[in-house]
């Protein structure tokens, strides 16, 4: 009955609320529908944060295991996507701490060189410098920058995901940009 | 480098910085399904809590002894101490005052973390906890901007505490469940409590 209502509801938000209600009582199809809707974006964010395809898959898995295990506690006070991304950020940051403790990661400079040279494109060396500079940012600053400048999250979304005020998110991105300008300031570009 | 050029580079980074590969979403789903929908055994209370309690008690004892032997300046808040004791700072180093305040801050934070409810149910002191977390969050940010925050290991710890305290400060007293689970996991996974202990030990060595 509920599933039929979901299928015919014209309102997307209502659809999602119904899916959440079904998933909370263990309905696999509803859970899969929620997963299909949000997994790609969670995976993108996880990959941007960790830069490792296997780890990004593991993180995406961990995020959704947590989501479905704690779905009964989701009260709908924030958007479901916000709640999912809050978990994604926490899981990703925690994982990166572990990874950093296990091995001193090399900045993934090679990746910046994988993109073929295109006329009028950014100098590959500058891309490499940018990647290294982003990597060197403190975690909370880096994730705010990646979410805002690269993944296009709003400051309100970042604030909710990181548990900070919207203004603090803006300040962190401002701080990140200042550090990047400083780190890239001496780069001599070919004219 | 100006803002306009940085914007151009960041626009390029949308496409080139760790450009995500296609995710094998079906395969990931199979693993999620296998793990998320299996029957969960009853979870034990996290072991760090007992540990945190012991540390909190030790730190409190230390702080009380310190107060008894060092006079009133020790108990004053960070800003007040820095502004009210110029003579002392001149004769000692500025770093000593910050270190003392950092030690006290870490003690208070350990006490707060030990007091967090472990079962996800509302506790009687939850509102007080969120209020204390807000105060400690302010101190964390002051310390991050102080000379204490220049030392990388301490900065990492303070940034972790900033995130955890922000989460505690946003706890809804009537419904702390999911948020508390995340906080407890973050504390465990980031080894926050052992790192507090180690930082306090380092600061104590610096005192002598």
Q: What is the pLDDT of residues A92-128, one digit of tens each?
A: 888 877 666 554 444 444 444 444 445 457 788 888 8
Residue B59 confidence class, pLDDT cut points 50, 70, 90:
low
Q: Give SS3 for B171.
A: coil
Nearest Cα of chain B lies from the Cα of A71 at a distance, in angstroms, of 9
Residue B100 confidence class, pLDDT cut points 50, 70, 90:
confident
Residue recorded with tokens 């299996």: B38
Is the pLDDT confidence value at B75 over 70?
no
The percent of residues in chain B predicted with pLDDT above 70, rounded, is 62
Instruction: Give Cα separations from A34 to A69, A76, B16, B35, B186 (angstroms).
Output: 14, 14, 29, 16, 25
Cβ distance B162 to A140 less than 8 Å, yes or no, reads yes
Check residue A38 and give its pLDDT.
95
Q: Give the nearest partner residue to B17 out of A61, A70, A150, using CB atoms.
A: A150
Q: Give SS3 for A65.
A: helix
A33 vs A131: CA distance, rounded Å: 35
A143 vs A162: CA distance, rounded Å: 9
Check residue B70 and give its pLDDT.
54
Cβ distance B36 to A31 less than 8 Å, yes or no, reads yes
The percent of residues in chain A predicted with pLDDT above 90, rounded, is 42
| Residue boundaries of the structural domains of chain B | 48-207
Is the pLDDT confidence value at B151 over 50?
yes
Of residues B175 and A1, the one with the higher pLDDT is B175
Segment B63-77 mean pLDDT = 49
Is the pLDDT confidence value at A179 over 90?
yes
A42 vs A147: CA distance, rounded Å: 11
Of B179, B156, B43, the C-alpha closest to A77 is: B179
User: Chain B window 156-185: which residues touch A at a Cβ cutoff of 8 Å?
Assistant: 156, 159-160, 162-163, 166-167, 169-170, 172, 175, 177-178, 181-182, 185
Residue B97 confidence class, pLDDT cut points 50, 70, 90:
confident
Chain A residues with CB inside 8 Å of B156's CB? 138
Nearest Cα of chain A lies from the Cα of B18 at a distance, in angstroms, of 6
Segment B20-39 mean pLDDT = 89
Residue A44 confidence class, pLDDT cut points 50, 70, 90:
very high
Q: What is the per-residue DSSP string for A135-171?
A: HTS-HHHHHHHIIIIIT---HHHHHHHHTS-HHHHHH
Check residue B52 and give its pLDDT.
58
Of residues B149 and A167, the one with the higher pLDDT is A167
* Token pair listed for B31: 């693993």
* Token pair listed for B74: 């020790």
- Domains, chain A, in order of start with CATH, read 1-105 (1.10.1740.10), 107-191 (1.10.10.10)
* Token pair listed for A173: 């991105």
A60 vs B193: CA distance, rounded Å: 27
Instruction: Give Cα separations from B96 to A139, A152, B75, B99 (angstroms).
Output: 28, 43, 14, 5
Tell me which DSSP letter residue B93 carries: -
**Lowest-pLDDT choice from A32-41, B73-82, B134-143:** B73-82
Residue B77 confidence class, pLDDT cut points 50, 70, 90:
very low
A150 vs A148: CA distance, rounded Å: 6
Segment A8-17 mean pLDDT = 60
Residue recorded with tokens 């990874």: A99
């Amino acid at each position: 009955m509920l599933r039929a209502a979901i299928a015919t509801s014209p309102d997307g938000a209502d659809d999602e609320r119904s899916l959440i209600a079904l998933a909370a009582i263990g309905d696999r199809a509803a859970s899969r529908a929620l997963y299909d809707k949000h997994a790609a974006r969670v995976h993108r964010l996880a990959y941007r944060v960790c830069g490792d395809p296997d780890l990004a898959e593991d993180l995406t898995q961990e995020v959704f295991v947590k989501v479905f295990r704690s779905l009964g506690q989701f009260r709908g006070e924030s958007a479901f996507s916000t709640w999912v991304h809050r978990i994604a950020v926490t899981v990703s940051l925690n994982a990166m701490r572990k990874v950093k403790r296990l091995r001193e990661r090399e900045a993934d400079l090679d990746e910046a060189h994988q993109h073929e040279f295109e006329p009028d494109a950014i100098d590959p060396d500058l891309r490499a410098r940018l990647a290294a500079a982003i990597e060197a940012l403190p975690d909370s600053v880096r994730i705010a920058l990646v979410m805002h400048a690269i993944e296009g999250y709003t400051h309100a979304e970042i604030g909710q995901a990181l548990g900070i005020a919207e203004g603090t998110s803006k300040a962190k991105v401002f701080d990140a940009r200042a550090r990047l300008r400083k780190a890239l300031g001496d780069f001599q570009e070919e004219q | 480098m100006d803002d306009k050029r940085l914007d151009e580079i960041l626009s390029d980074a949308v496409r080139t910085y760790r450009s995500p590969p296609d995710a094998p979403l079906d395969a990931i789903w199979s693993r999620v399904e296998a793990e998320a929908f299996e029957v969960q055994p009853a979870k034990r209370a996290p072991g760090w809590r007992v540990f945190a309690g012991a540390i909190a008690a030790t730190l409190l004892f230390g702080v009380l002894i310190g107060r008894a032997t060092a006079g009133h300046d020790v108990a004053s808040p960070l800003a007040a101490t820095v502004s009210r004791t110029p003579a002392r700072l001149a004769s000692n180093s500025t770093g000593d005052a910050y270190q003392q305040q950092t030690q006290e801050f870490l003690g208070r934070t350990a006490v707060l973390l030990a007091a967090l409810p472990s079962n996800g149910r509302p506790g009687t002191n939850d509102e007080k906890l969120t209020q204390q977390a807000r105060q400690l969050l302010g101190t964390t940010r002051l310390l991050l901007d102080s000379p204490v925050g220049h030392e990388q290991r301490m900065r990492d710890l303070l940034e972790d505490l900033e995130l955890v305290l922000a989460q505690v400060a946003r706890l809804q007293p009537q419904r702390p469940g999911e948020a508390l689970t995340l906080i407890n996991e973050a504390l465990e996974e980031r080894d926050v409590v052992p790192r507090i202990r180690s930082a306090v030990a380092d600061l104590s060595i610096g005192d002598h």
